[in-house]
Structure 1
């Protein structure tokens, strides 16, 4: 887990400066990031723009599905714009309760709790499972939300080699008798590879450790009825497994979820700061996600299309000279020579009507820059083929 990158503040932004110079300190850091090719830019998009989207995470194309939109509109009319409070005050509606019931059944766990974001769900799950006496073992390629959850927990943190059951076994053997939580993603967010969850769980189970799996990029895409990577590995409902996920990817909405045993849910409701003190997700979004979940469970045709498109993308990129590995789900990583080249490549694609992800440090765990392509079953076939041509033709 990288602690800093060029131009990132370590500590206070006014360290070493008078209080009146804090803006100058920020400006120096901004210039350092620009020199390293790490400047980031907000690009607002218009509704219904014609860009072919291989950058967003709407894997099943459900964000604009008529049933999803109508469910959201109905809840908007019924409840108004926002939840108006935290889950424990006035923010829990019948839509929230129904979604939690459906998520628990789909994921195969006794209980599910909905959060306003996947980031907050990960922070809440780690802080509930770990404390000062806990050893957290975190995969080297984990998402920033998992890294921040580990750092904020007060627990001892050890970074494990990526997706390596043998290395995990060695780490656990080196800490006998410790309370241990192993933290991993299922499909990793940058490279799109799938952790060997069954093998990793065999190791954690043998050593009496818990396993926390962020299933964000597998939910809706892998497993029976799209129930995710944990379900695909046969671990649904395992008493020593906790699952988190976001509702903003294959389900096309927003929010997060923690799924696990009933005592964990009770603990989160009573003590979880990211649950207790955060305003609940809007009922309209929750209702829309509920409709998307019902569609996703019977969307085997869309999942099959994603597989077909993943194969086609890998073949096209290989023909263009790129060593892109076959994806486990719908995330593909394409290496770029450096951050500036990645930026230019993404910009050229955008100028030709194709949106692609551009990942640079610190978002990349290995410090290398790449394009990240995220497939979408809702894109028309001719647009998808054109997008692949554009990506190949714009390559540096």
Structure 2
């Protein structure tokens, strides 16, 4: 490496010295409650595969069916020659599932935020953003060039104070929040946010990445969970978590979606979602439309794991969803906790700065509907054994 690139090695060394370097494990099997890593079978508590659909035979069969019929790639961006009938099929199903007038599908949940925010606000406008919003929201806000006003996490009093402070500014105003915050598992106070938006003339956008397939009737998300109907202007979702595939979408009014088809840069400048991805997503939506059994099982498993870990003395934070943080604090100790659990047959990664604030390092247990009670009991016993050895409990 040339001297002008020396900073790369220096930064890698710093990350390792401070316990912030991420050891990326390679999975050698299908995603599921148990996976193979480095030739070992380990219990998987890392995946966002909430409903266990990643390797569901129904999704696989649909992908194979559509590959035989439509090929593999879309061949272009949506606005030139990449919009296929199957993209429209998926968008109609997603809109119906969400109870929205329309939806637009893009390449990822990250791209969905980049698609939604910059077309709605520009350099003379205002964005009111929860301080713990996901990186994709933060990047979408930055790309818009709007002024970003951060409010304290889930604090509607602070949000109103900020809205009041800027009430005299004659511009577009957008309040944006995650629905479920992925590191703590808490839920945005969306009804209060919507009321404030109405009071101060702001648009509301919610990124429901970790609420799709989790909250609401049959996993329809946070807007359905709170019975807010069409009071939320923009719903962003991902297809890579509970749906078990990949992709993202924006749902809302017919006019909004038509506007984004013309303005959203990921739609204009990046190729459309591939055929097998679209097919598998269609199958996933159909499964959720047919039954809420998987959603119920997910919550049952999440509540059980939380109860057991709390009884053993672990600090599980403030989660209101199946996401279960195990708070440690120190990044190096969290990393050691993860490594020792792997030795015991548990795959769960440590999470530290900058993903979470300094001093708030943790492990994050992600249960799924596919886990059995025996799996969760195994996990609790191993957590207890290693937690006691490290002085965490």
TM-score under structure 1 length normalisation: 0.91
The CA distance in 1 between the partners of 2:227 and 2:202, in whole Å, is 18
Is 1:280 paired with 2:262? no
Q: Deviations over 1:153-192 (max 9, x none)?
A: 1000011100111111111111114321011011101100
What residue number does 2:33 align with?
Answer: none
* Aligned partner of 2:184 among 170, 191, 205: 191
What residue number does 1:151 align with?
Answer: 142
Unpaired segments ≥5 residues, structure 1: 1-18
Is 1:271 paired with 2:294? no
Is 1:112 paired with 2:103? yes
What residue number does 1:350 align with?
Answer: 342
* Aligned partner of 2:175 among 174, 182, 190: 182
**Counterpart of 1:159 in 2: which secondary structure?**
strand
Equivalences for residues 205-354 of structure 1 within 5 A: 205-238=198-231, 240-325=232-317, 327-354=319-346
| RMSD after superposition | 1.7
The CA distance in 1 between the partners of 2:250 and 2:291, in whole Å, is 23
What residue number does 2:113 align with?
Answer: 122
The CA distance in 2 between the partners of 1:384 and 1:78, in whole Å, is 41
TM-score under structure 2 length normalisation: 0.92
**Counterpart of 2:349 in 1: which secondary structure?**
strand
**Cα drift, residue 326 of structure 1:** 6.0
The CA distance in 1 between the partners of 2:151 and 2:24, in whole Å, is 34
What residue number does 1:167 align with?
Answer: 158
Q: Deviations over 1:269-304 (max 9, x none)?
A: 112111111111111111101111111233422222
**Counterpart of 2:348 in 1: which secondary structure?**
strand
What residue number does 1:42 align with?
Answer: 24
* Aligned partner of 2:54 among 46, 63, 73: 63
The CA distance in 2 between the partners of 1:126 and 1:357, in whole Å, is 31
Q: Deviations over 1:208-257 (max 9, x none)?
A: 1011100010111111121001111122322x520101100000000000
The CA distance in 1 between the partners of 2:352 and 2:327, in whole Å, is 10
Runs ≥4 residues deviating over 6 A: none
Return 275-284 or 323-332, whichever deviates more.
Answer: 323-332
Q: Is the 8 A contact 2:177 2:205 kept in 1?
A: yes
**Counterpart of 2:148 in 1: which secondary structure?**
strand
Q: Deviations over 1:349-368 (max 9, x none)?
A: 22222222321111114651
Equivalences for residues 7-26 of structure 1 within 5 A: 20-26=2-8
What residue number does 2:70 align with?
Answer: 79
Unpaired segments ≥5 residues, structure 2: 31-35
In the comparison of the two structures, how many residue pairs are matched? 377
Q: Is the 8 A contact 2:301 2:373 kept in 1?
A: no
**Counterpart of 1:51 in 2: which secondary structure?**
strand
